[in-house]
Each structure stands twice: as structure tokens, then as C-alpha cells.
Structure 1
């Protein structure tokens, strides 16, 4: 099998990842209702990894996919609370390809940091159209976005400074359209394209013509969810047709995968670890956010005609999101520098049919908590599964008592219905021992360090902060448009790094600037770098301005808004602008 190439013949790479589409949300995986003919065609043509695993939530999957590292080592291992931001020094697969002469493009959902230096354009992507935060309609997204005719940030090659632009059409159509433009513009040189669709993530909005075929079927749990996938499938057909017409399909490595288990493909009990009560989940237990199989086993198709990666063949060996970067590097003849320090393994031996050369014996997936979440999630083994090709050792934090290890023979009990830990105590102990090196590697990182965003970075001035990145000791920060419509009742710090000393202007808001709505407060205060300043709020003001001189260095930023009754909450949005090195007249 010819899968290694010279620099002159390097293939293009297209990596398509959908959001919240589970293993069973494809007709080629047995779904009896959902129709996905274009994805079924890709499935029929591809090498399929049938035992492929990711993290049970979107941010950690994206962090591991981009870096090749366990999410706990990257800074981005939860979806909000300042824990969805990559450490500034982390290099991504886009850095790798850009440094090796590839044009790089990213369209859709990033969810690894809204601000410099953690945006996609800071991490190796040259041509970008993206929405902020974890979903369209969430707090830091452009105000008013609702999946139709939305405003996204565009970054053009040669610049890291983006601008907001209104796009016509449904969000999935827009992101595919931008991907098509990128391919057309870069057809004469190798390119790496990351098409990270936000669909079928909630809220479940889609045009009626896509939802209607499923709307009157009582067996369908969420007709809009299925309609969103049908729209993705249709776009996939158009996109692949374009690749054929441009003569690019044969020498393009085309990957399709998803970021976690299903969110809308079944009706579950209040515990995500349960089997579905209705709907289709390919016979698996658990859904998105669960460390059972249904939460983190996903589709992974890879197709490359010139590399002989075709034929509709299954690879049943244990593989993971960590493996994508080293695999693509080897397939494209790119040296992977030691500085990337990846935890994944190249899948090339498996693609060649050389299973005996595959060194992985186990895989650990842990749904970390970290600061801002309940303390049991900071413990070893908390919300963890240790996987081998035969066994799954599960410790779900939703089940009681905690640290009650359950063992499943996945080869004979795919639905994970029978706990056999009592029958095989030696297997339990062996898998627990295999976990220890993982914990020793990741725990000193995620338990002791938080990612910070820059203030005064010339690539983003002003910095636009949103409460979704507040680092809270308890609970969750507000993260959606609906939540920020309520008056603030709490506050928490942003972790920031003042990149250059000087005068900074802080504009505290209850609503984003684009909303144009007044702050409901009479007083405002902020604390940063050992300084505190308090001002009165002018009636009708949409933003409260406070200027301070700051030294360079890492610190925390806290904001406060007080109403007439003296009740306090934080500014949901705060813009921080560097005004210059010298003092500025107030």
C-alpha cells in the first residue's frame, strides 16, 4: 500500500468534523430512519475505524485533535469557565501544516479560545470564518445569531486581525460554501482544510424542508436534529462533487468524524449514562457527556484514492482523536517535531494492514473537572474509562458510590449491561495500574494551571471578554443569550495576561456592544493587578468606562455592577483596550 509520499506529491487534507452527531446518527451505521446517502457513499469508499474514540464533550475532543495530546495537558478540557482555552504555547496541526508549505483554512466552530493568543488565526490557520464560543447563540457569539443569516468573524491570509461579516444563508451552508471557496482558491498548491461544523449542535434550528421528512414520525425523538444532519449530508455531496470536478479528489485525504456521542439521537433518562428510552444509538449505552461507549465512540472514515485508502474496509483496532495529527504527518511526509510532544500514535500501520506493528494496548479517557466544578471531578479515576479492545473499566461520577469500578467485556457485551468486575478482579487491578501513568502525566498540569488571554495584544486590541470564561469556584458561568438577559447575580475572575504595560481602558457591559442595550446598574467597580476603581453609572449608558495604568504580567480581572438595592453581579462583557505606553488624560 503506497501511503507515504514525497514533498512534491504531498496530498491535500480535508478534515470534516460535525458537532454532537453520534455513531448511530448515520444510516450506514444502521439507523433505520435517518437518511444520509452521501455519508453512506463516503463510508462505502473509505477505510473505517469502528473502534474510534474521542472525549465525551466538544472542547476536549477539539483540543486533542488539534494538539495530539490528552486534553488535560492542553488547558482546554471543559466547555466553559475559563477551561476551554488552549495554553498559549500549544502548537496545533495547522501550525504543522502551515510550517510545511500548506495553505490552511478553518471554517465553523473552534471552541478553544475566543481571544488572542488562542484563536484559530493564532494557531496556524490562515483563512478563517468562525463563530466564537461553543455554539451559535451562546454568550460570546455575535449578538442575535440564530443559524440563519448570521454574522461571523472572517480572517484573511496574511492577517491575524479579523472583522465581523454578515453571511446570507443557513450556517452549515455558509461553512461549506466558504470551504468550497478555499478549495477553489488553493487548488494549485497543497492545502489543509478543517471544516468544523457547528451542526447538529443545539439549539435545533433548521429550515422546514430538512426537518419535515422526520417531523411526523413518532419514532423520531428530535426531528430538527435529524434535519440538520440531512442538510449536512446534502452539502457533503455538493462539496465532494466539486473536488471531483476540480480534479482534487484523488490526491486529497478526506476524513469524516464527529466530536462526541449523540446529543439528539435518542431520548435518555436524566442520567446521560443510561441506555436510550427511545431513538437509535447503535446499541450503545450513554450519550454526549458520558464516559460509557455511547458518549465517546464515534465514526471515523478516511479516504485517499492515490494513497490506496479506499475499498470500504473496517479497522477494528482501538484508535483515538490523539492519533490524527501523527497519522496525517506521516501520510503527508511531514516530520513531526519532538516539541509537539504528542500522546497519539500514527495509524499508518493499521492503514497498511499491519496490526502486529501497532503498539497501543490501552487508552484512557477522563472527563476532567478542574477548578470551578465539583471536587470529585478533580480526583484520580473520576469520570474515567480505561479501554482495551476487550475491556472497559468505567468509573462514572454520576453513579453512586463514586469510585465504584465497573468492568464490561465489550466484545461480548456491547451494550455494557453486565458488570463483570467481581468475576475478573485481576483485570480491574491491571487496568487501574495502566491508568496511573496517565494521571501522573496530566494531573500536575490541569490541577495547577489555567490558560490566560492577552490584554494589549496588537493582534486583538481591544480584547473582548465574555462571562462564559469566568473561572468560578462553584457552578457554571452564564453562557447563552438567554442567560445574559437576566440581571447578573454573581461575578468571577477572568485569567488574563497584560502583554505590555501602559494605560488600559475597560468598558463594562451587561449586554454585548452589538445589542446596544443599557447597563442596569448605578455603580460599577473593577479589580485588577492589585488596583480597585469604582465609578457611577450614567443612566442609559450601554458601557461603563474605567481607565487604569497597568504593569505587564499575569493577573486576574474582576468586575462588579451594583443596582439601587446594593445587589451585585459581574459585567457579562468587558472590552479591554490598550491606549498606549504613557499616561492618558482622563
Structure 2
């Protein structure tokens, strides 16, 4: 393996690694968990994609266990929540990818929290997408360090503005940029790899020297926007691919190079034998490209939407060139890592997964034997779930409902799902549909109340527009840049002065005062518009836009026009100071005066704590 140039820089971040000793054999293993975004099962050379180059991923698969049938959720945030907790995401309150539907309940227990409590150093570097605020962001879910972003995707990949910029030394302090994102130099996946390598290589304290580490690297590529180096993009254009596929494959090869940097560092520093390396992706591909001839892609409950790669390398336990053919899923990773790391899994809640240790070396019978089971896919992720779409997977059957009725496919005889065999096996279909309904009722017992954003005397918050619920509804006098309010969208087209946006908040530790600001953009016709922020019955603060601020979008080197929102600067309008009383409330942004056809565009509402009030 070539030694990456970045290793020279990493040695500057802390002392060099000590030579492993016999005592190291008794240490708990390190864990490197790599997750990519929108990379499908077919986006791997060794999965039959001969025109895609992924030598480092192919090598990783060959050096350990390659899972043939590993399943996740149809979209990003539910996969992450299930993987981190060992529970179906609906148990965690996660049922979507935006509008706060992606936030895990603060009481969930993640693998990071379990390992942290066991003495591990924990770091997350990349896309989080399971909550953006105190209690739900990585610091609230078990990570000592974090660099990256918390939303579902990011706007620009070259020299990105990141809300949590990388640190050049270990820290135990939450380093969110207080006044908004800060510029980081380089390509985004390379930046996250640099941060992960610095974390892995940290020898700055005695505790760092002794402690094992858990490093979670959730890359945000090959999710759009389609931005990647000219070198890699041109390579796949020259191979005859269309622009969209060439961009995706170029980003996948960049990921492969970064995986190579991580595994090379482990070898360079004598850590490969003692590190569990896992690689998987979060859903099917985000485009119509090779996916092993499976039906479906990202967002689908069919096989192609949820079957993804999983490679596990751990030389002390897992033999090389193992192929695991039993069904497994994202919910299995927490119990598997608990067993491998000697950590007790949570005993106070239902875990849906089970340890994969009995099958990590292939078809060797487990003790007890590995039994077939039902794996569930829950698909309702655009609004409040209703249980009308999803799937049940067993070793032989896939029972799917994406439309008005359940379909049944024999995955042994028909892996491409070309023929619905419900008429031949009606009892199988009905039994699986009934099992889905029962599981749905079980995992949704706690409902879907949104997780309120925490505010204290020391913790403020920026409430982004894409986390708001628009009332009366999107498109009825108020809307987002995009049709659904994806991450990084903002409010525009606010034509109805009676419409409003609202966010749930929770004030803790007494009554506190906050400065209230709006991030906005306004044309000259919108000057004079007046906004109000109202919190329950506590009164409101108002502010009037007194100047135009209508900047162009930041340049974006997209290979084609992206489906997501672009990025631009925002002005700040101060509305004054409000006293918020302890408890849970709803914050509303309202239009008080609308001189033009529409209100100004709104990116976010920001609250900054200024003093502590008297507790009740």
C-alpha cells in the first residue's frame, strides 16, 4: 500500500505511535466505522462493476468478511439511527431526513455512548444527520470530538463552510463556530479523513496513549451536489458514462482513496491487527446506475433500495476472504461491536439486532445455530409515518408494499423481483403482511412527537428554516426553495401574511433571556417588512427590515444542476431580547407587515443566551 502524503502531516499532530507490546493483546480493540452516503451495492468494483475502480475497498473486503445480503433503511437518517442504536429507527423517533424528523430522542443509547463509558476515546468526522442541537448532536450522543455537519447534506464540497470545523488537536469542548460556518480548505471527504487520522493518531495525553478508540467516519459523498475533481470526473467520462454516473463514480473513487489512507495509517502505525474496520453504505444508489440487477434504488423498499455492502476486517477474529450469505442488517452492528469489544449492551430497552459474531467466518454453524428471521423496512419518510409502505425480508421471501397492495417475491428463484408470486403463495404474503403490521405497531408505540431544541442559560440555538413546520402547509402561502424543505433550504414565496413557521423548543434550568435574530435576504421591494418571533404566551419581539440584501448564490462547481438548494450569504436582523420561561414551548416566526408581494427570504432564527432569570 502506498503511504499517503497526509501521514507526514499527521505526525506533526502528536508524538509517533509506540511499538505494540504484549500488553496490547489484552486491550479492547479499536473500532473504525466507515459509512458512505448514497453509494449503492453496485458501486464497488468487486461487486461486478468492472468499469469502477475501488482497489482499497476490494482489498478490505478480501481481508475479512464480505456480507452478501446486508440491509439498511431506504434513506439516510433512519439507517444511521438504527446502526448506532441497534434498534429500528422508528423506536428512536427517526422517520425522515429533514424538518426535525431525523433527530434521535436524547434518551437513546448509541454504540458511541457505550464505548465512551467503557473508556474509549470517541470521534465522529463527517455527516451526522441524527439531530442538530444540544442532546441530539454527536456531543449529546457519546462523541468526544466532532468535525463536519449535522444536516442531511452539504452545499459545497470544495473549501466548504462547515459549522463544526476540524480541529488540529484533541479537544473535549464542543467547537461549533459561534457565528456560523467556517471555511475549511480542501475537498470535503479529504478534510474528514484528515480529521479522522488526526484523531486516530492522537498521543497528546497519557489517557490517549492508553485508551482504545472508536472512530466513526460517515462520509457525505457520493450524495449530491455532483462536485469532484476534474481528474476523476474526466476519467469516468472517458469510460463512456453519462455525466451523472461519471460524477457518482468519481466521488466513489475519491472515497476509495480515503479508505486507503485510513487503512494505510493503521498498518503504518501498527494498529491493523487490533482494529475492527467496518465499511457500509446508508441506502441504495442515488441514480440509475449498475446495482447488481436488483429492483429499486435509494428511497425504495425493494432489494435495490436497501441492500448494501458490508465489509468487516478484524484479523484477530475474522478470517480473510470470508463470504457471509445469511441475512444481516444495520440493527446488528451495535450488538456485534458490544460483543467484540467486551461491552454490555443496554439492558433497559428492546434491541432489534443480534450479534453477527456466529457468522463472521462464513457458513460455519453458530452455537446456537443462526436462525432465519424477519427483517423489516419502514419507508414512510416524507411526512408523519402511517405504516402504509414497507417490506419484510426473510431468507427466501421479500414481501413489499410500495403502492396499494402487498407483493411477494421469491428471492431464491427470482432475485431481480420480476414476478409477484402472491397468487401462488397467498398465505406467505398474508402472514408477512400481518407481521409487518404487528412490528409497525410495536416500534411506533412512542409516537412521533418532535424533539424540541434545548435552550439553557449557556446554550443557545440556530433554528434553521428546514427544521420548521410551515403553516398552514407548504405551498399554501409559504414554501421552501425546494418542494420538500430538504437540508439547507430556506423559506421564500411567503405570500400570505397569516402563514408562519414554527419550531418546538425546551427551556431548561429556569427562566432565561435570549437575543433573537433572523438570518434573511431581501429585495428593495421587501424593505419595510416586519417580522415577529412569538413563544407561547410569553409575548413577542419584532424587527423591521431596513435595507435590501439580495446577494447572488455562491459559485458551485456542479457537474450538472443539483436537485438541492444552493448556498449564499445572509444578513442579520436583530429583533431584541425575549424572556423565555422554563418548559416546552413552540416558537413561531410571523409576518406582521408585508409591503411587497412576498416577505423576505428567511434562512434561520437564532437565539443567544444573555442572562439567567429566576427559576420557578
Place the TM-score, normalised by the shorter chain, in its bin.
0.7 to 0.9
Partner of residue 47, structure 2: 29
State the shift of 1:116 in Å. Answer: 0.8
Query: Matched residue of 2:446: which SS?
Result: helix
- Say which of 162, 165, 176 aligns to 2:193: 176
Consecutive unaligned residues in structure 2, runs of 5 or more: 1-22, 203-207, 475-482, 548-570
1:283 corresponds to 2:284: no
Q: Deviations over 1:361-381 (max 9, x none)?
A: 111111134xx72xxx6333x
Deviation of the 1:487 alpha carbon: 4.9
Describe the SS at the equivalent of 1:357: coil
Give the Å deviation of 1:165.
Answer: 4.6
> Once the 2 structures are TM-superposed, how far is the Cα of residue 118 of structure 1 from its aligned partner?
0.8
**Structure 1 residues 402-551: aligned runs within 5 Å:** 402=404, 404-447=405-448, 449-456=449-456, 458=458, 461-472=459-470, 474-475=473-474, 478-479=485-486, 483-484=489-490, 486-488=492-494, 491-499=500-508, 500-510=510-520, 522-533=529-540, 535-540=542-547, 542-551=572-581
Are positions 1:157 and 2:180 aligned together? no
Match for residue 393 of structure 1?
A: 399
Shift of 1:486: 4.5
**Distance between the aligned counterparts of 2:541 and 2:197, measured in 1?**
50
* C-alpha distance in structure 2 between counterparts of 1:40 and 1:417, whole Å: 30
Measure the CA separation in 2 of the matches of 1:525 and 1:577.
16
**Could you say if the C-alpha distance between residues 296 and 191 of structure 1 is closer, same or farther in structure 2, counting changes exceeding 3 Å?**
same
Q: Number of aligned residue pairs: give it.
A: 540
Query: Which residue is equivalent to 1:227?
Result: 250
SS in structure 2 at match of 1:108: strand
Contact 2:533–2:542 (8 Å) recurs in 1: no
Alignment pair present for 1:560 and 2:583: no
Partner of 1:366: 378
Q: Secondary structure at the match of 1:426?
A: helix
Cα 1:222–1:250 change in 2 (3 A) is same
Q: Distance in 2 between matches of 1:125 and 1:347?
A: 24
CA contact (8 A) 2:263 2:272 kept: yes
Alignment of 1:148 with 2:159, yes or no, is yes
- Choose the corresponding residue for 1:237, options 255, 260, 263: 260
SS of alignment partner, residue 437 of structure 1: helix
The question of whether the paired residues in 2 share the 8 Å contact of 1:16 and 1:194 is answered with: yes
The 1-side partners of 2:226 and 2:352 are apart by: 35
With over 3 angstroms needed to count, the CA separation of the structure-2 counterparts of 1:146 and 1:351, relative to structure 1, is: closer
> Which residue pairs with 1:193 in the alignment?
215
1:382-405 alpha-carbon deviations (Å, 9 max, x no partner): 220011010000000xx3xx2x11
When structure 1 is superposed on structure 2, of 39-48 and 157-166 the one drifting more is: 157-166
- What is the DSSP-based 3-state SS (H/G/I as helix, E as strand, rest coil) of the residue aligned with 1:182? helix
Secondary structure of the residue aligned to 1:478 is coil
Conserved in 2, the CA contact under 8 Å of 1:75 and 1:83?
yes
**Higher alpha-carbon deviation: 146-155 or 51-60:** 146-155
3-state SS, counterpart of residue 590 of structure 2: strand
Matches within 5 A, 1:69-218: 69-137=87-155, 145-154=156-165, 156-163=170-177, 165-185=182-202, 186=208, 188-218=210-240
| Contact 2:152/2:487 (<8 A) preserved | no
CA distance in 2, matches of 1:88, 1:472: 24
Choose from 334, 337, 341 the match for 1:332.
341
Instruction: Name structure 1 gaps, 5 residues minimum.
Output: 138-144, 267-278
Q: Which residue of 1 aligns with 2:605?
A: 574
Q: Distance in 2 between matches of 1:558 and 1:65?
A: 34
Q: Secondary structure at the match of 1:444?
A: coil
In 1, the alpha carbon distance for the partners of 2:588 and 2:184 equals 35
Q: 1:226-285 deviations in whole A, cap 9, x for unaligned?
A: 101111111222221111010000110000000000013x2xxxxxxxxxxxx3111101
Measure, in 2, the Cα distance between the counterparts of 1:454 and 1:183.
31
1:25-51 C-alpha deviation (Å, 9 max, x unpaired)? 011000131111111111111211111
User: Counterpart in 2 of 1:43?
Assistant: 61
> Is residue 2:327 matched to residue 1:318?
yes
Moved more, 174-183 or 492-501: 492-501
TM-score between both structures, scaled by the size of structure 2: 0.82
Please tell me the root mean square deviation across aligned C-alpha atoms, in Å: 2.6
Q: Report the Cα distance in structure 2 between the residues aligned to 1:261 and 1:53, rounded to whole angstroms.
A: 10
Q: 1:222 to 1:213 in 2, by over 3 A?
A: same
Distance 1:54 1:409 in 2: 20
Residues 471 and 146 (structure 1 numbering): CA distance in 2 closer, same or farther, change over 3 Å? Answer: same
- The TM-score, its normalising length taken from structure 1, stands at 0.86
The 8 Å contact of residues 6 and 333 in structure 1, kept in 2 or not, is answered as no
Shift of 1:161: 4.6
The Cα offsets for residues 80-99 of structure 1, whole Å up to 9 and x where unpaired, read as 11201111211211101000
Q: Report the CA distance between 1:77 and its aligned residue.
A: 1.9
Task: Identify which range, 330-339 or 180-189, moves more after superposition.
Answer: 180-189
